[in-house]
Chains A and B, each alone.
Chain A
Amino acid sequence: MIAELGLALLWIAAALACLSLVAGVLFLRGGPKDLASLVRPASVAQGVLTAAAFGLLIALFVRSDMSVELVARNSNSLKPMIFKIAGTWGNHEGSMLLWLMILSLSGALIAIFERRLREDTLVATLSAQAALSLGFFAFLLFSSNPFNRLPVAPPDGQGLNPLLQDIGLAFHPPTLYVGYVGLSVAFSFAVGALITREIGPAFARAMRPWVLFSWIFLTLGITAGSYWAYYELGWGGWWFWDPVENVSLIPWLAGAALLHSVAVTATRNALRAWTVMLAVIGFSMSMVGTFIVRSGLLTSVHSFAVDPERGTFLLALMAIYIGGALTLFAVRAGSVAEGKKFALLSREGSLVINNLLLTTILALVLLGTLYPIVAEAMGEKISVGPPYYNKVAGPLALILCLVMVAGPLLAWRRDDGKKLWSRLPMAVFAGALVLVLLVIFGGKVGILPLLGMTVAGVVAVASLAPLWGRNLRRTPLPTWGMVIAHFGVAVALAGMGAESAFIKEKLVAAKPGDVVKVGDFEVRFEGVKPVAGPNYTAIEGTLVATTSGGGSHVMKPESRMFPGLMGTAPTETNEAALLTRPGGQLYAVLGQPVVGADGAGRYQLRLWWKPLVWWIWLGGALIAIGAALSMLGRAQLLTLWRARRARKEEGRWK
């Protein structure tokens, strides 16, 4: 029954999306006002019903209802409960339903909370959102039905890819999806504003918190994904320029550009057409990413569906939405009035350069991601790897950081170069100090990490400069947000630089009792013992890491064996052991047993000392916190809350 109910809810939600779209279009073409009043409740109901359908799918996974094809293929009754739940979105159909639920809930949230837009623009925005969800409803219902029943229920399910049986999976996809799909709000806002020609500061101010909202989740999703790859894949890297990583980075870059350009539109009524364009690009890139990952063009942990029909369907949807929005933009862009002018050396000017650099990096990452696909279609087999991305994105990102040093210190409209210089001595000094220290004590450091750490020093100090001489208690939240986010960039950059410059690596075939030196640590290999997990067996190594300063720590890397379930092959995963210290992380991987000549029970052991590596994710978290503070300030939630409280207080005294 649950599966049938879920499917019925999806159909009703799709019908509601259809209703919103038709009512909205008729209203905008001069229909009666009653039609407009339909759109808000229909959007809310659509969101609630889709969320309920998703809840029912989770219930099916929790109950291990093997008569449902999706559950039988991706779950198993022996799995721990958390992974039964997470398994709901660890597959193609479930993750598409999650995507659709977020799309619908975004529409519902706009309908409930957005009060700053003109009525007709709001209706146009909600209709655009409904049009987006309608396409994905069609995709789900016609080619990826998650509630499909099997004619005969198997005794048990095939289980979930062991690599995905990790607590990170419970949070990483939903977080990233909220960010990915949250960009659809900016897309719909842009389409709505283009339709009603309401492009100006009011529109930008209304859109701003939504952009920040999705960007926070993109940042957190990417940060969490990077950490997952770092400890789960056991190669010790934190970013691989893998296509699936790139397609999450591309919308993030678009979102970063958008939230800076929307600041210019909101504050100074300039860059209007550009802001609308970026809002369209942002969600377009989310769709391109979903298409690339889900269509089976790339093979990875993310490509569940290797089905040409689905790929074609997604491609068609993408062509309709992106093509439609760009056509609308082309038709209406000419009528977007010219914005206010500004000097090149001004806050606006620095934000223009910021946007140019961000979109250039975006284009180069997109080029590197798509090029192999295009080349393969033409018969050439090419893969683009880290050397390309580091070469093109590294220098541009460093220039971007230097612009970030100057931007917040510049006045709007026009500023004076000498004045700017007078605000910077501390920051320049900090950078010079880092550079000198690195050159003297750092030994041989590559040019990119060297520049990275130097720029990090400059940014760290300069990012705090907007707070100097201010009453900290009266500093507005968005300013705090900017400062913390920019400081987070410096922290992450320092971590990246230090990790790549000073990493130490040891690879040995160790027998029990052996001591390996890596960095400041002496690591003794105690031996291995078998352990049993809930649905796997494992070999657990015991390592004791001691530093010269005293203190010893036990590390237990594991090599896990997951038995094959219902005819699938058994799989092995390496669980790295991490020891986090203030100065970095010690990372240990247990490899294969060695059948050596001496027969001493040796095991392969790989150890890394990674200085400051956790600063990378700390920086990511700081960026997200900064964006969250900005959002709170921009959405004026606090102001509203204070006003309400003040009213209550007043009422009490009366």
Chain B
Amino acid sequence: MKAKHQRLVLALVAVAGIAGAGVLGASALRDEAAYFRTPAEVKAGKAEVGEPMRLGGMVAAGSIVRQPDGLTIRFVATDGKASVPVQFTGIVPDLFAEESGMVADGRMRADGTFVADRILAKHDERYMPPQMGEMPEGVAKMAPKV
């Protein structure tokens, strides 16, 4: 094989590789990118039941209720405009508390409860999900009714 041919073959392999990777990446992103929703968007009907998604919000003041099994908690996530009840079974991360920010992976149930598989750890008490933007002080104390 001549040097020119070899370069051509290598270039073609590279182009095919890049094209393949592009297609792979794009299709995987379309399928697997989880949409981040705020409670207001959930109330506006943007979250479909059963779709994997990520919910971010403040834990409303006085809303954490521990269930009798000792493992399940229910609380209300709010962004000041709307509130969504959340249910989670497991050990909550270290800094999970009322009146602080949280992000949960999970899906909406038909009854309007968000069932979380995982509540994301926050490394800092000043943490606020970046996608939430600015929120006024005291939002967690005046959560709208579920």
Contact = CB atoms under 8 A, between A and B. Distances in A.
Nearest to B100: A569
Nearest first, the 6 closest Cβ-Cβ pairs linking A and B are: A509-B70, A594-B70, A301-B123, A591-B91, A388-B32, A381-B36
B48 interface: no
Contacts of B24: 364, 392
B138 interface: no
Contacts of A569: 125
Interface of B: 1, 3, 6-7, 9-10, 13-14, 17-18, 20-21, 24-25, 28-29, 31-38, 52, 54, 66, 68-71, 89-95, 105, 118, 121, 123-125, 127-131
A338 B3 CA distance: 9
A595 interface: yes
B91 A234 contact: yes
B94 A383 contact: no
A341 B6 contact: yes
A24 interface: no
Nearest to A597: B68
Interface stretch (A420-428, A441-449, A571-579): A571-579
A360 B21 contact: yes
B68 to A, nearest CB: 6
Contact of A507 (B10, B37, B91): B91
B35 A235 contact: no
Given A301-B123, A360-B17, A597-B68, A381 B33 contact: no
B66 A299 contact: no
Given A368-B29, A371-B29, A385 B91 contact: no
In this complex, which of A353, A360, A381, A606 has the most chain B Cβ atoms within 10 angstroms of its Cβ? A381
Given A356-B17, A384-B34, A589 B91 contact: yes
B96 to A, nearest CB: 9
Interface string A204-232: 00000000000000000000000000000
Given A387-B32, A592-B91, A343 B68 contact: no
Nearest to A508: B71
A557 B105 CA distance: 26
A475 B146 CA distance: 71
B90 A596 contact: no
B1 A233 contact: no
A391 B32 contact: yes
B52 to A, nearest CB: 8
Interface string A359-403: 010011001100110001000011111011001100010000000
A382 B25 contact: no
27 contacts: A161-B123, A163-B94, A234-B91, A234-B93, A235-B118, A341-B3, A344-B6, A344-B9, A360-B20, A363-B21, A372-B33, A381-B35, A381-B131, A383-B36, A387-B52, A388-B29, A392-B25, A508-B71, A509-B71, A568-B125, A569-B125, A571-B94, A572-B94, A572-B95, A589-B91, A604-B70, A604-B91
Interface residues on A, range: 35 or more
Interface string A260-301: 000000000000000000000000000000000000011111
A385 B124 CA distance: 21
A299 B56 CA distance: 13
In this complex, which of B21, B95, B131 has the most chain A Cβ atoms within 10 angstroms of its Cβ? B21
A343 B1 contact: yes
A11 interface: no
B6 A384 contact: no
Contact of B54 (A342, A343, A383): A383
A185 B129 CA distance: 37
B95 A299 contact: no
Contacts of A591: 91-92
A299 B68 contact: no
B94 A385 contact: no
A584 to B, nearest CB: 21
Contact of B70 (A367, A568, A596): A596
Contacts of B36: 381-383
B29 A606 contact: no
B123 A300 contact: yes
B69 A509 contact: yes
Nearest to B7: A338
A301 B125 CA distance: 11
Contact of B127 (A299, A356, A383): A299
Contacts of B28: 364, 388, 391-392
Nearest to B6: A341
A299 B130 contact: yes
A509 B66 CA distance: 12
B53 to A, nearest CB: 9
A602 interface: yes
Contact of B34 (A297, A356, A385, A589): A385
